[in-house]
Chain A
Amino acid sequence: MPAVTIQGASKAFKLHHRQYHTLKERALHPFQARTYDLLQAVDNVSVDIAQGEFFGIIGRNGSGKSTLLKCLAGIYDIDAGKMHVRGRLSPFIELGVGFNLDLTARDNVILNAIVLGLTRKEAKARFDSIIAFAELEDFLDMRLKNYSSGMSVRLAFSVAIQVDADVLLIDEVLAVGDASFQQKCFDEFQRLKKEGRTILFVTHDMGAIQRFCDRALLLEKGRVVAIGDPADVAHRYNALNFGRTVHELSDDRSDDDRRTDYRDADITDAWFEDAAGARIASIPHREAIAVGVQVRFNAALDDPSFGVTIRNNAGATVFATTTEWSYGPTGHFAAGELVTVRVRLENWFTPASYTVTPSIARIGMGSDTIDLRADLATIIVHGGRFTTGVVDLPHEFEIQRG
Chain B
Amino acid sequence: MSSQDYGEGKRYGPSAFGDDLRRFVSLTYTLASTDFKLTYFGSFLGYFWSLMRPLLFFGVLYFVFTDIFHVGTNVPNYSVELLLGIILWTFFLQSTVGSVQSMLSREGLLRKMRFPRLVVPLAITLTSLFQLTTNLIPIFALALIRGINPTWAWFELIPVVALLAILASGIGMLLSVLYVRARDIAPIWDVTSQLLFYASPIIYPVFYYNHHTTSYYGKDCAFNSESDTYLNILTGKTCGASNVPVGNNLHLHFIGHFLMTNPIAAVIAQARHALVGGHEGVNPSAAFALGGWEYALIPVGIILVVFAVGVVVFHHEAPRISENL
Contact = CB atoms under 8 A, between A and B. Distances in A.
Interface of A: 13, 20-24, 26, 71, 73-78, 82-89, 91, 93-94, 97-98, 100, 102-103, 107, 110-111, 114-120, 122, 166
Contacts of B115: 115
A276 B119 CA distance: 58
Given A23-B184, A23-B188, A119-B22, A74 B13 contact: yes
Interface in B6-32: 6, 8, 11-14, 22-23, 26-27, 30
B184 A88 contact: no
Nearest to B114: A74
Interface stretch (B86-94, B104-112, B192-200, B304-312): B104-112
B8 A100 contact: no
B45 interface: no
9 contacts: A21-B183, A75-B14, A75-B322, A82-B12, A94-B108, A103-B34, A115-B113, A117-B1, A119-B22
B301 to A, nearest CB: 27
B1 A166 contact: no
B29 to A, nearest CB: 9
A9 B23 CA distance: 27
Contact of B112 (A97, A110, A120): A97
Contacts of B227: none
B6 A21 contact: no
Nearest to B110: A75
Query: A13, A71, A100, A117: which has the most chain B beta carbons within 10 Å?
Result: A117
B26 A119 contact: yes
A222 to B, nearest CB: 15
Interface string B61-77: 00000000000000000
Contacts of A85: 4-6
Interface string B145-174: 000000000000000000000000000000
B14 A100 contact: no
Given A21-B183, A102-B42, A84 B320 contact: no
Judged by DSSP, the binding face of A is: loop
Nearest to A7: B8
Given A84-B6, A103-B34, A97 B108 contact: yes
Nearest to A72: B12
Nearest to A166: B3
B38 interface: yes
Contacts of A84: 6, 8, 12
Contact of B38 (A22, A98, A103): A103
B27 A76 contact: no
A134 B13 CA distance: 32
A234 to B, nearest CB: 27
Contacts of A88: 1, 3-4
Contacts of A115: 27, 30, 109, 113, 115
A98 B323 contact: no
B319 interface: yes
B51 interface: no
A168 to B, nearest CB: 14
Nearest to B183: A21
Closest 10 CB pairs of A and B: A77-B13, A74-B114, A22-B184, A77-B319, A97-B112, A23-B182, A94-B112, A21-B183, A114-B30, A83-B12
Nearest to B35: A100
Contacts of B320: 77
B23 A117 contact: yes
Contacts of B34: 100, 103, 107, 111
B285 to A, nearest CB: 39
Given A74-B14, A103-B34, A115-B30, 15 more contacts: A74-B13, A75-B322, A76-B323, A77-B12, A78-B13, A82-B8, A83-B6, A88-B3, A97-B108, A98-B109, A102-B38, A107-B34, A114-B27, A116-B113, A117-B1
Given A21-B183, A84-B8, A119 B113 contact: no
Contacts of B13: 71, 74-78
A268 B261 CA distance: 79
Nearest to A67: B323
Query: A22, A73, A107, A118: which has the most chain B beta carbons within 10 Å?
Result: A22
A353 to B, nearest CB: 24
Contact of A73 (B8, B108, B114): B114
B30 A111 contact: yes
Given A13-B323, A74-B13, A77-B14, A24 B5 contact: no
A130 to B, nearest CB: 16
A118 B22 CA distance: 10
A197 to B, nearest CB: 13
Contacts of B233: none
A93 B23 contact: no
Contacts of A13: 323
Contacts of A94: 108, 112
Given A77-B13, A94-B112, A26 B319 contact: no
B16 to A, nearest CB: 12
Contacts of A103: 34, 37-38
Contacts of B259: none
B26 A120 contact: yes
Contact of B111 (A74, A75, A87, A111): A75
Contacts of A78: 12-13
B182 A26 contact: yes
